[in-house]
């Protein structure tokens, strides 16, 4: 029997690799004669670089950049095994994880560092670049990234705009004459697990601004600033970004990548599934096990676990889901779903013991279900 283990990260507890390893240990203990293949996944968020590099036999690079508040750092990015494709995570330079809770301020945070990583990939002569867009600390519409690539943004007095999302309210003119010409020769893929538009009730600011430190009133200000940004981009560049699905991803970075890099917005799961050969791996498997920290209504719409289930069911392969918590609305997506420990989740103890609990769950309930189905 061949068992494919293909989870994403368990947020706050386990990386996708750690989760895959824990499940694989439990399965191997319960079914020692089975061939267990671990294939950790991501959707464009944290671990995207690690997963793509490791799954394709690529290599890692490190480049200087600046964090969301302009402080210098070293950020890791990667090269896929095809030696033609670079992959960067915006979270590595512009991510929420780089800030303390009291530093979160989307009026000031910037994607300058993400632009610097893109430049590093261009300098290394890569002309296909995947940008993972999860984990953003920013709400600047990719304006910081644009400035790193040579674009200038001016206010009504002809002064350069300061960094941050709030400053876009005063945007008057955009000058792309200094945009790095290599950008036009490069295929940029923006990988995201969300389809939010740039502005409005379901836009970048009102939906995601609060988790980045914005109050309701500040989120509304940021939404208006991004609307102004979209208006000037349309007027100066002839590119309409305001209603493009995914343009609101990563605080509007999707919009900036479209406007200044000609990027395509693609589902992160699809980008990664293709790169790691997930479809072929599922076709060779007898059972697929996926999982994440919480299975809920969102898991049924475009998330990694539902993507795995969709591919598995298309080939007639049964799929088991494991999670820290399971909402009943997610149950029908999989053949069966098991929670780590209903009595503990979502406690600090469950998070601390996540690998142990996940292995035990695989060794008992998951293995029992597989054996019962086989019988």
For the stretch 127-173, pLDDT in tens is 999 999 999 999 999 999 999 999 999 999 999 999 999 999 999 99
Tell me if the pTM is above 0.85: yes
% of the chain surpassing 70 pLDDT: 95
Residue 189 has pLDDT above 60, yes or no: yes
Give the pLDDT confidence of 101-127 residue by residue, as tens digits.
Answer: 999 999 999 999 999 999 999 999 999
Q: Does the bond joining 346 to the residue before it have cis omega, within 30 degrees of 0?
A: yes
Work out the pLDDT band at 196, boundaries 50, 70, 90. very high
Residue 45 has pLDDT above 90, yes or no: no
Largest CA distance in the chain: 76
Give the pLDDT confidence of 307-337 residue by residue, as tens digits.
Answer: 999 999 999 999 999 998 887 767 678 999 9
DSSP bridge pairs for 336: 320
Domains of the chain: 2-40+286-374 (3.40.50.10350), 48-269 (3.90.1510.10)
The number of beta carbons lying within 10 Å of the beta carbon of residue 157 is 7
For residue 346, what pLDDT is reported?
57
Q: What is the pLDDT averaged over residues 33-53?
A: 93
For residue 351, what pLDDT is reported?
75
Question: What is the enclosing helix (H) or strand (E) of 355?
Answer: helix 354-361
Residue 193 has pLDDT above 90, yes or no: no
- As a whole number, the mean pLDDT across the chain is 94
């Amino acid at each position: 029997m061949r068992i494919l283990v293909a989870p994403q990260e368990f947020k706050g507890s386990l990386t996708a690799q750690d989760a895959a390893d824990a499940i694989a240990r439990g399965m191997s203990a319960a079914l020692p004669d089975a061939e267990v293949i671990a294939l950790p996944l991501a959707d464009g968020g944290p671990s995207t670089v690690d997963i793509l590099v490791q799954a394709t036999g690529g290599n890692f690079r490190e480049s200087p950049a600046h964090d969301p508040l302009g402080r210098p750092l070293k950020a890791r990015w990667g090269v896929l095994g095809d030696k033609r494709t670079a992959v960067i995570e915006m979270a590595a330079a512009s991510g929420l994880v780089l800030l303390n809770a009291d530093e979160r301020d989307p009026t000031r945070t910037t994607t300058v560092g993400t632009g610097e990583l893109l430049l590093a990939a261009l300098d290394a002569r890569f002309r296909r670049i995947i940008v993972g867009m999860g984990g953003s600390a920013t709400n600047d519409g990719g304006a910081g990234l644009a400035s790193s690539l040579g674009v200038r943004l001016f206010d009504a007095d002809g002064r350069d705009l300061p960094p941050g999302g709030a400053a876009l309210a005063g945007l008057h003119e955009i000058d792309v004459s200094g945009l790095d010409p290599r950008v036009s020769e490069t295929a940029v893929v923006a990988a995201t697990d969300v389809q939010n538009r740039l502005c409005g009730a379901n836009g970048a600011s009102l939906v995601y601004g609060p988790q980045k430190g914005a109050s309701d009133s500040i989120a509304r200000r940021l939404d208006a600033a991004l609307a102004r940004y979209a208006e000037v981009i349309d007027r100066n560049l002839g590119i309409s970004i305001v209603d493009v699905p995914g343009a609101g991803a990563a605080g509007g970075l999707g919009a900036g990548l479209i406007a200044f890099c000609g990027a395509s917005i693609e589902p992160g799961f699809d980008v990664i599934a293709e790169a790691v050969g997930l479809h072929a791996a599922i076709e060779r498997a007898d059972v697929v096990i996926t999982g994440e920290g919480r299975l809920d209504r969102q898991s049924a719409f475009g998330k990694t676990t539902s993507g795995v289930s969709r591919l598995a069911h298309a080939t007639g392969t049964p799929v088991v889901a494991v999670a820290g918590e399971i909402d009943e609305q997610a149950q029908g997506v999989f053949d069966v779903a098991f929670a780590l420990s209903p009595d503990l989740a979502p406690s600090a103890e469950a998070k601390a013991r996540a690998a142990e609990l996940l292995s035990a769950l695989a060794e008992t309930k998951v293995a029992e279900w597989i054996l019962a189905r086989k019988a």
